[in-house]
Amino acid sequence: MTAVPRNQQAPLRTARYTLFYLCLTAIAVVFVAPYVLAIFGALKPASQVLSSSPWSPPTRLYLGNFRAILSGDDFWRYLGNTAAITVVLTAGQVTFGVLAAYAFARLQFPGRDRLFLVYLATLMVPNVVTLVPLYTMMRQFHLANTYWAIFLPYVLGVPYTIFLMRQYFMSLPSEIFAAARVDGCSEWRILTRILLPMGRPIIITATLIAFVFGWNNFLWPLIVTDTTSKQVLTVSIAALQSSFGEQWNLVLAASLVALIPLLVIFAVFQKHIVRSIQLSGVNR
């Protein structure tokens, strides 16, 4: 490299930095624009959505679309259904998942490793393969079109998060567990006093995975519910879209309501989410 005097190099570097960040910002615009435009659209009256360009911000704060969506009981019911089902699904999946992961990582029992291989093998089964039989089972047990049917298949723990947590629990120093056993701690006490505090990061990860899955779940609730009283938010938004096709102002407002909880969670747990996605991919 030819030596460039310092005073000439500095502006060059500044220019390159500016270009670099401009590039990053342009890409960020592509990723964020749909949200911003949806907010713009949801805050405009129907006539303005059709007449103005999508990127022009609303001239005044118009809340009529949100009022229209939220005024009836129905939308609140869907929101309530989704929230309740997601909470139950998450609580069960994490609780039973932690128990299983602890057993596979830290307990001795006959057939343990073979049983774990069975859990791993089920990761190969695509979701759609189980839908027809699951629906058949739910009908057979008179559970079709109930809240139970929506969360039951996922509430007892799923192999994927059990696998993630087991890997993490196995990486914890075994001396602590051995010492606790020598001191006469019961397995339950070890679980609540040692494992839960030490395994916090991965348990938060499992909680986030379960929550996002429950909140976003669409195909299974679509299949297993057929009355509006049991409908969840995603199914109702899809129905709204097909019946109010061209009333974008309303459909956008409804979609935003569904997105808000996830956006809040993302804002709060952003660093954790990024770290945990990388953890789940690389920790192989």
Partner 1 sequence: MHLTDLRHPRPTRETPRPPSAPSRPARLRHLLTAAPFVLPSLAGVVLFLLVPVVIVLVLSFFRWNFLQSPQWVGFSNFVTMTRDDHVFHALLVTAYYVLWNIPLQTAIALGLAVLLNRRMPALGLFRALYVLPYMSTPVAMAVVWSWMFNGQTGLINHLLLLVGIHGPDWLGNAQTALPAVAMVSNWQYAGYNMLFFLAGMQTIPPALYEAASIDGASAFRRFTRITLPLLSPTMLFVLVTDVIGSFQIFDTVYVMTQGGPGSATNVINYQIYSTGFRNFDVGSASAMSLLLFGVILTITFIQFRFFRNRTTYEVS
Residues 162-181 that bind partner 1 (CB under 8 A): 162-163, 170-171, 174, 177
User: Is 65 within 8 Å of 253 (Cβ atoms)?
Assistant: yes
Q: Which of residues 248-277 bind partner 1 (CB under 8 A)?
A: 248, 251-252, 254-256, 258-259, 262-263, 265-266, 270-271, 273-274, 277
Q: How far apart are CA 10 and CA 45, in angstroms?
A: 51
Minimum Å gap between C-beta 273 and partner 1 is 7
What is the token pair recorded at 74?
Answer: 């129905």
What is the token pair recorded at 199?
Answer: 């395994």
User: Is 120 within 8 Å of 159 (Cβ atoms)?
Assistant: yes
Burial 129-138 (b: 16+ CB within 10 A, else e): eebeebeeeb
For tokens 């569904």, name the residue.
258
Question: Among 5-13, 63-71, 121-129, 193-201, which window interacts with partner 1 (CB under 8 A)?
Answer: 121-129
Minimum Å gap between C-beta 78 and partner 1 is 12
Question: Among 5-13, 27-35, 62-70, 73-81, which window interacts with partner 1 (CB under 8 A)?
Answer: 27-35
Minimum Å gap between C-beta 180 and partner 1 is 13
x/- mask, partner 1, residues 222-241, rule CB under 8 A, reads xx----------x--xx--x
Q: Which of residues 124-163 bind partner 1 (CB under 8 A)?
A: 124-137, 139, 152-160, 162-163
Minimum Å gap between C-beta 194 and partner 1 is 14
Q: Coil, strand, or helix at residue 148?
A: helix
Minimum Å gap between C-beta 87 and partner 1 is 16
Sort 155 into a burial class: Cβ within 10 Å, 0-12 / 13-18 / 19+.
buried
- What phi and psi, each to the nearest 5 degrees, are found at residue 166? -60, -45
Q: Coil, strand, or helix at residue 232?
A: coil
- Please tell me whether residue 22 binds partner 1 under the rule CB under 8 A: no
- Please tell me whether residue 19 binds partner 1 under the rule CB under 8 A: no
Q: How far apart are CA 141 and CA 9, in angstroms?
A: 75
Q: Which of residues 67-106 bind partner 1 (CB under 8 A)?
A: 96-97, 99-100, 102-104, 106
* Binding-site size, partner 1 (CB under 8 A): 106
Q: How far apart are CA 112 and CA 108, in angstroms?
A: 7
The one among 7, 8, 53, 243 contacting partner 1 by CB under 8 A: 53
